[in-house]
Amino acid sequence: MPIGSDKGFIVKPGFDPLATQTSLSSSDVFSWGWNFRGQLGLGDTVDRSSPVQVGITEWLTASGGYNWAGAIKNNNTLWTWGNNSAGQLGNGTTGSVFSTPIQVGVYTNWSQIAAGANDGVAIKTDGTLWTWGQNAMGAAGQGTTGVVNTPAQVGALTTWATVTGGFYCSYGIKTDGTLWSWGYNAQGRLGDGTTVDKSSPVQVGALTTWLNITAGYGWAVAIKTDGTLWAWGKGVHGALGQGNVNDYSSPVQIGALTTWLKLASGAYHVLATNTAGQLYAWGTNDYGGLGQGNTTNTQSPVQVGALTTWDKIAGGPYASYAIKTDGAFWSWGYNHKGQLGVGNTTNYSSPVQIGALTAWSFLPKMSQSYGVLALQF
């Protein structure tokens, strides 16, 4: 079974995951795909091949990990569901499965959540960083290893701006534009020039120009404020965009363009848009997840079609998801559990539209998720 969780998430217009959370309206969350551990949050373990609503209208943002999910409501409370074998639901227990959302603690100041394989990382409205989960190789950033089954603060800083979860590692960008990483460091996935695991955050280089980051199965890709694109870590899948399958333990630039805008990752491939609204993909293409109409792998960015109307993007294991500027939602790639949301389990190597709605507006981080979550305003 490939790494990931067959689940997905989406959101309708007006949502900015980095905006002040209390200013946002309520939204509906929908899920579909693989539901082996109740990770769709629907109260059962039945797979779905089309979007189904989760609970009531009150969600703000969400993220999908490996067979589990987390979300924040519009009152800034934190909720999780799915597999809890390693404490990744953060509710103080391990070993149970929760097929409907459960609240994590009583705090009402959660702002962002990012789900890694079996670890959660989140930021509160005060800019503090919190983690929980399996904590293998120090992925919780607590200076220790071993299960952390309730959210614990990482350090005392109040300057964390954005976070993302990887495969037993995590990444964060501070408000000063510095980039930090921690956890498992095989193949140099932390980007600090070594392959030594780190159980506390370490800075990646000395630059203060990092803007956004995404992570897959052993690698990371990031955009700087000058619009350049950089990658590091495990190269075997071609996701580093270097035209080869070499590992790199420090950031290396992908091409020379300065117009990259948005990033997303599957477990084994990357998606990126530029300022012209064009969509590019590269990496493993076993089931057509690169959207090229074939299953040929590529180790450098290639454009997906000729359209200039791509807006939001997300990836899952061997699958891709995108929202156009008209609000229509599209998917392609691996579909063995219905994770493309088109009502069947057929793989597609080119984009296909999910339903006829044109009101979708947000795709969360879910690179290790075979399911999909979506929010509708």
Q: Reduced to 3 states, what is the DSSP secondary structure of residue 138?
A: helix
Asked if 178 contacts 188 with a C-beta cutoff of 8 angstroms, the reply is no
| The Cα angle at residue 337 between residues 334 and 339, in degrees rounded to 5 | 60
The Cα 62–Cα 29 span in angstroms is 8
What pTM was computed for the model?
0.92
Domain boundaries, the chain: 66-327
Q: Reduced to 3 states, what is the DSSP secondary structure of residue 186?
A: helix
Q: Reduced to 3 states, what is the DSSP secondary structure of residue 66?
A: coil
Per-residue pLDDT of 192-249, as tens digits, reads 999 999 999 999 999 999 999 999 999 999 999 999 999 999 999 999 999 999 999 9
The Cα 271–Cα 99 span in angstroms is 30
- Asked if pLDDT for residue 92 goes beyond 50, the answer is yes
Q: What is the pLDDT of residue 231?
A: 98
Q: How confident is the model at residue 57 (pLDDT cuts 50, 70, 90)?
A: low
Strand 371-376 and strand 6-10: pairing?
parallel
- Asked if pLDDT for residue 114 goes beyond 90, the answer is yes
Q: What is the pLDDT of residue 84?
A: 97
Q: What is the pLDDT of residue 376?
A: 64
DSSP 150-173: EEEE-SS---EEEEEE-SSEEEEE
Rounded mean pLDDT of 127-138? 98
Q: What is the pLDDT of residue 320?
A: 96
- Asked if pLDDT for residue 354 goes beyond 60, the answer is yes
- Asked if pLDDT for residue 359 goes beyond 50, the answer is yes
Q: How high does pLDDT run on average in the chain?
A: 91
The Cα 323–Cα 315 span in angstroms is 12
State the CATH class of domain 66-327: mainly beta
Rounded mean pLDDT of 155-162? 98
DSSP 294-348: S---EEEEEE-SS-S-EEEEEEETTEEEEEETTS-EEEEE--TTSTT-SSS---E
Going edge to edge, which strands form the sheet with 198-203? Answer: 160-165, 169-174, 179-183, 198-203
Asked if 116 contacts 122 with a C-beta cutoff of 8 angstroms, the reply is no
Q: What is the pLDDT of residue 30?
A: 87
